[in-house]
Amino acid sequence: MKDDKEVIILGIESSCDETAASVVKDGREVLSNIISSQIDIHTVYGGVVPEIASRLHCENINGVIKLALREAGLGFDDLDAIAVTAGPGLVGALLIGVSEAKALAYAVNKPLIAVHHIEGHVAANYISHRELEPPYVCLIVSGGHTHLCIVKDYSDYEIIGRSMDDAAGEAYDKVARAVGLGYPGGPKIDMAAKEGDPHAIAFPIGEVRDRPYDFTFSGLKSAVLNHINKARMKGEEINVPDLAASFQEAVIRQLVDRTVACAEAHGIRQVAMAGGVSANTALRAALSEACEERGMKCYYPEPIYCTDNAAMIAAAGYHQFKEGRFADLSLNASPDLKLGMRIGG
């Protein structure tokens, strides 16, 4: 049984290839965090197959929700609300979580909260760092997103910069594929780079003219592919660790330098990171170092809360609960939802 003043939220996440459910108390304390990953199945295809992802979500979702409640030692009656990822993501995958959450909320008479997946990633920081409060600068890096924003308040984001082309995670996937490291690219390159020299190859650090906080990775990606092609034409062996480390260095310089520059320009002393790529060990080390040099505080979620999970959805949902922002039963999945866009009320 729970205390009357506590707010207990069940989070549900199904935007890509993880079916997840979690129970979180007061937006910060994780009572359970269940993730059913489909990655082994999609790896056979070299990437996430949307139809297969949707089928697996439908198969696993009830079991995952039940397990989350069981681990938390709570029942539906103990919940204050149900929060679900409404977008962005794969539409068929999102629809499973959204349909399930609407029906469940209706069945057990609980309010429904529609959460933006990326706001969920940002909120993962509140779980790992109880002391973190807005305002702070947040770098959001994942397979689908590269955003630099100022989190002014729990639900108030100002986007300062974004990628003009590929997301950082996408660039990782493409380079990993080109050198035969396979899928998923991020962890594979991160691992290979540990053995390599980050200054072995001078890849260009992409810049966007007159836009100091935006990112671009297409030029870097082309430079890496050109380097590989040239080496192959000359019959030279490619040093994969050196290439991975040098590519990663070029990505990190862009991300880290612009993030701390943004914080300095806006007089903000706290910097956070969110999204799948924030689990990258070299990126974490570089951002920590850059922040330390400038006397800024640096935050990033524990690795388990960097990848897609439902605890972060419940954590973000908590702040919407406090603001009374609920969704109704007509809630739809929003595959192209932009950051800062309000959904379902």
Binding site for other proteins (CB under 8 A): 42, 44-52, 54-55, 58-59, 61-63, 65-66, 76, 91-92, 95-104, 106-108, 177, 182-183, 328-333
Residue among 177 and 269 whose Cβ is closer to other proteins: 177
Shortest distance in whole angstroms from residue 120 CB to other proteins: 20
Q: Kindly give the pairing relationship between strand 270-274 and strand 136-141.
A: parallel
Smallest distance, Å, CB 146 to other proteins? Answer: 17
Of 13 and 249, which has the nearer Cβ to other proteins? 13
**Alpha carbon separation from 60 to 33, 267, 276, 314 (Å, rounded):** 15, 46, 22, 19
Nearer to other proteins, 212 or 219 (CB): 219
CB of 43 to other proteins, least distance (A): 9
Least distance to other proteins, CB of residue 280, Å: 21
For residue 19, what are the CA distances in angstroms to 184, 303, 309?
Answer: 18, 17, 8
Q: Where are the alpha helices (DSSP H) in the chain?
A: 39-43, 50-72, 91-107, 117-128, 168-178, 185-193, 218-233, 240-265, 281-293, 303-306, 311-323
Task: For residue 55, list its beta bridge partners.
Answer: none
Smaller CB separation from other proteins, 6 or 328: 328
Question: Is 55 or 269 the residue whose CB approaches other proteins more closely?
Answer: 55
In whole angstroms, the minimum distance from the beta carbon of 63 to other proteins comes to 5
Residue spans of alpha helices (H) in 266-310: 281-293, 303-306
Per the rule left: phi > 0, alpha: psi between -120 and 50, beta: everything else, 328 is beta
